[in-house]
Amino acid sequence: QVRLQESGPGLVRPSRTLSLTCTVSGGSISPYYWSWIRQTPGKGLQWLGYISDTGTTKYNPALTSRVTISVDTANNQFSLQLRSVTAADTAIYYCARDVFPHSEGWFDPWGQGILVTVSS
């Protein structure tokens, strides 16, 4: 059974870059799409973007200038970078896989989530 685990700092200073990694165990990166999704009390669930096993990316247009997602297939990991963060980026960040191979947009399973706070 595939499992996803987010890791990274829980506190990021304003204007800095938020960097998170999702480690996939019990399954392969291929041939799925892998997403980052965040959750806040105010804005609810927000999809940030995805990457395929071959490195194809799609981002949320609202964040595309600040987001980069990359994949490391050798280590079964993918990563999120969010630049120039503000307090509005404080959220629980989830990584998730598409439920079926080669499909886009139905997310399961998810990692347990990691709370990232943006504060000085």
Partner 1 sequence: EIVLTQSPATLSLSPGDRATLSCRASQSVSTFLSWYQQRPGQAPRLLIYDVSHRAPGIPARFSGSGSGTDFTLTITSLEPEDFAVYYCQQRANWPPFTFGPGTKVDLE
Binding site for partner 1 (CB under 8 A): 44-47, 49, 58-62, 94, 96, 99, 104-113
Distance in Å, CB of 14 to partner 1, minimum: 24
Task: Choose between 30 and 112: whose C-beta lies nearer to partner 1.
Answer: 112
Structure-derived torsion over alpha carbons of residues 33, 70, 57, 38, reported in degrees to the nearest 10: 70
CA dihedral 49, 53, 54, 57 (to 10 degrees): 0
With a CB cutoff of 8 Å and minimum separation 6, the contacts of 114 are 6, 7, 8, 10, 20, 92, 93, 94
**Measured from the CB atom, is 85 or 96 closer to partner 1?**
96
CB of 56 to partner 1, least distance (A): 13
Residue 33 or 77: the one with the smaller Cβ distance to partner 1 is 33
What is the smallest separation between the CB atom of 77 and partner 1, expressed in angstroms?
18
CB of 24 to partner 1, least distance (A): 15
Q: In whole angstroms, what is the distance from residue 35 CA to residue 107 CA? A: 8
